């Protein structure tokens, strides 16, 4: 199982519209990437491990795929459309990391 982690950095002036993200952006990704997507989650950053400090990420999303090849085949042709939608819900640039699930 391969997971694409999409991390949205938190900062003082960050704007993040969870309603848009969960109800429009994530479903759009599901439609564009189709059966390659095996699952997805969206988590809102609520705290840091250091009391009183803000969470380092305002949101973290995980999208699961069977393999890197299935991710690349599905994401590549749709990357521009997905990236173009980001300003509709946030003013922070995401970092994306692919990971292989071990347990």
Reference 63, options 17, 10, 19, 27; nearest CA is: 27
Q: pTM of this prediction?
A: 0.94
Q: How far apart are CA 61 and CA 9, in angstroms?
A: 12
Q: Provide the pLDDT for residue 84.
A: 98
Rounded Cα distance, 103 and 95, in Å: 23
Q: DSSP class of residue 66?
A: S
Tokens of 32: 């564009």
Range of the structural domain that residue 37 is part of: 2-100
CA–CA separation, 42 and 59 (whole Å): 7
pLDDT digits (tens, 9 = 90+) for 55-101: 999 999 999 999 999 999 999 999 999 999 999 999 999 999 999 99
Q: Which helix (H) or strand (E) is 33 found in, with range? A: helix 26-33
Give me the number of domains the chain comprises: 1
Matching residue, tokens 């969206």: 42
Distance CA 47, CA 69 (A): 35
Interval 12-53: pLDDT, tens: 999 999 999 999 999 999 999 999 999 999 999 999 999 999
12: domain CATH number is: 3.30.70.100
């Amino acid at each position: 199982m391969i997971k694409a982690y999409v991390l949205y950095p938190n900062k003082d002036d960050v704007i993040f519209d969870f309603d848009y993200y969960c109800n429009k952006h994530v479903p759009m990704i599901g439609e564009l990437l189709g059966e390659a997507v095996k699952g997805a989650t969206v988590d809102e950053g609520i705290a840091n491990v250091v009391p009183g400090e803000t969470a380092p990420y305002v949101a973290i999303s995980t999208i699961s795929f069977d393999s890197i090849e299935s991710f690349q085949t599905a994401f590549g042709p749709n990357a521009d459309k997905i990236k173009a939608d980001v300003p509709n819900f946030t003013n922070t640039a995401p970092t994306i990391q692919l990971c292989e699930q071990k347990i």
